[in-house]
Structure 1
Amino acid sequence: MGGTNPDRGKTVSTVLGRRLGGELLRMRLQRKQGQAAAAKALTASATKVAKMERGLVPMRDPDIRALCHLYGERDETVIERLLELAAVDRDRRKAKGWWSQHPQLASLLEYVALEAVATHIRTWQHSLVPGLLQTPDYVRALATGAGFWDDPAAIDPFVESRIARQIRLEGEQPLHLSAVLHESVLRQHIGGRDVMKQQLSRLLDVAKQPNVTLQVVPYSAGAHPAMTNGFSILSFAEPGALDVVHMDTTLTAIWLEDEIDTPRHGRSFERLTELTLSPRDSAQLINASLKEL
């Protein structure tokens, strides 16, 4: 994935491309169609179909519509979502999405691109406030605490890039966010008392939005199935579509896209929601933590 390859946009498998290709593959298998039939519908080779299904090539809108027609998909909403995903993938490959204006998002480019077209995100965090809910000062405190910055002046652009993502919670078709936090997130004094006061107030405000569900797992819940890792599950509008799971580690990001690990994380999230306080009681706990500051 070097930066000097002129064919980079045509040969790279991206999370977005695999996500779209996987949906087309799922539709083809459900209809019991072979790659030869798909190739005939596109007036192309079976090799091209294989590359499309593996996310190795950007996809043209006419090709997507032709395959949807072949596979019997008539729901225009589903088709439009696939076309939107393809458009974002093409922008991602050409570095044309809004996120390309924020080079500080380098480690999150794939995630932010998928976040831009997701309809629902379920996120579990045991140590940090989710990025979509962070205040600028909280982001700045995290960046400063990480100690990775040779130039302190670069931190402000990084903060701006992180906050820019939060536009997905607004507008006519906002992202639906289900956030589950461990109580320790409320107690960890990132940036000090004043920063945490602002951050907890932000959580209380955003929890009032109809597209946001915010719940807390209290200390009293004890052991649970997601104690070791925070993760986010990105969902899309297509019926039966596989979700995508994203996990951050200290040095890299991990994507889970298969039919075993992805549902497993979905079940873990469901189990977590059984251990949470209700949204109302969660807000009361956040408010109590705020008063303690």
Structure 2
Amino acid sequence: MSTLRTVEPSLRSRWLGRQLRALREDHGFTLRHVAELAGLRLAEVKAAELGTHLLEVSQVEALMELYLVRDQYARYRLVNLARIARHLRRWEGSADAPPLSKEMLDCLWLEARAVHIRCFSATLLPDLLQLPAYAEAVAEQAGGAAVSWWGWACTERQRALYGPPLTSLRVVVAEAALLRPPGRSSAVVCDQLQHLADAARLPHLTLQVLPTAAPYVPGMDGSFTIYEPVPPQPRVAVVHGLNGIFIHEECAELYADVFDQLSQAALDPEASAELIAGAAERSTIREE
């Protein structure tokens, strides 16, 4: 018998595993019972529920038959999750794409399916509001590969903002981040500020600026994003750091509370729009 192939679990595979476990427990089946009825190894069923083994789509379909899942949407959701747990076609496989961690792939997937997104940006502008040139400058400054790919990905990721369906986005950005050049040249800042001013007019986008003089709020030291997917998936908080991306499920509520405090300390959307428009105008004058 071949050795069971296991993987480091992604958010996608963990969510699939939890739903398969919930279905099994709802029917009162043991792991061994399911393995026997579905023609799987006991270790396969156990690892799949932990997200450390990726079942074939046909195997997930067989489990849905075993668990009497008749609702077509529920079946579609599980089959689709089984597919994307194995491969995100939109982001993987391109010859010019850089290596993407499973956490980065999870973030890209969350962006595309989130109903609501809340983002606090302490140092740079949020990814979903960046121009391609800005994203490329960030990637180049970070010494990353495939700089032009990040510019392309920037445009692709922002499809959620222009829908359909539209994603509700709330952003709090530190004032200092508005004028911070993303790379060696400050030329992109002028266009980026104008883009930000235009984006602030979108009805489903709430943009606030946290003034430099605002009082300290615990948790404002670093950037984070909170994703709220379609139920039954839970709210998730994501933190980007020097040593990788950290995805938090258990403490997502803590980040949501911090975001609310930051929002209260920030300028209201109207005053923020005025500040951004003024910064864009001054940047344009300097460029001329």
| TM-score normalised by length of structure 1 | 0.76
1:78 CA drift (Å): 6.0
1:111 CA drift (Å): 1.9
Q: Choose the corresponding residue for 2:84, options 81, 88, 98.
A: 88
1:158 equivalenced with 2:157 (yes/no): no
1:126 equivalenced with 2:122 (yes/no): yes
1:99 CA drift (Å): 4.2
Larger Rg: 2
C-alpha distance 199-41 of structure 1, shift in aligned 2 (>3 A) = farther
AA aligned to 1:205 is D
Specify every segment of 5 or more residues in structure 2 that has no aligned partner in the other structure, as ranges.
Answer: 284-288
Equivalent residue, structure 1, for 2:209 = 216
1:242 equivalenced with 2:234 (yes/no): yes
Q: Choose the corresponding residue for 1:266, options 252, 256, 263.
A: 256
C-alpha distance 106-11 of structure 1, shift in aligned 2 (>3 A) = closer
1:136 CA drift (Å): 1.9
1:247 aligned counterpart, secondary structure = strand
1:144 CA drift (Å): 3.1
AA aligned to 1:237 is V
RMSD of aligned Cα (Å): 3.4
Q: Choose the corresponding residue for 1:56, options 52, 56, 59.
A: 52
Equivalent residue, structure 1, for 2:279 = 289
Matches within 5 A, 1:1-293: 11-25=7-21, 35=30, 39=34, 43=38, 47-59=43-55, 60=57, 61-62=60-61, 65=64, 80-92=76-88, 96-101=89-94, 103-104=97-98, 106-107=100-101, 108-146=104-142, 148=143, 154-191=146-183, 192-239=185-232, 241-257=233-249, 259=250, 261-293=251-283
The separation in 1 between residues aligned to 2:27 and 2:212, in whole angstroms, is 49
C-alpha distance 144-54 of structure 1, shift in aligned 2 (>3 A) = same
Judge conservation of contact 2:115–2:167 (CA < 8 Å) in 1: yes
Q: Percent identity?
A: 27
AA aligned to 2:114 is A
How many residues are treated as equivalent by the alignment? 273
C-alpha distance 128-42 of structure 1, shift in aligned 2 (>3 A) = farther
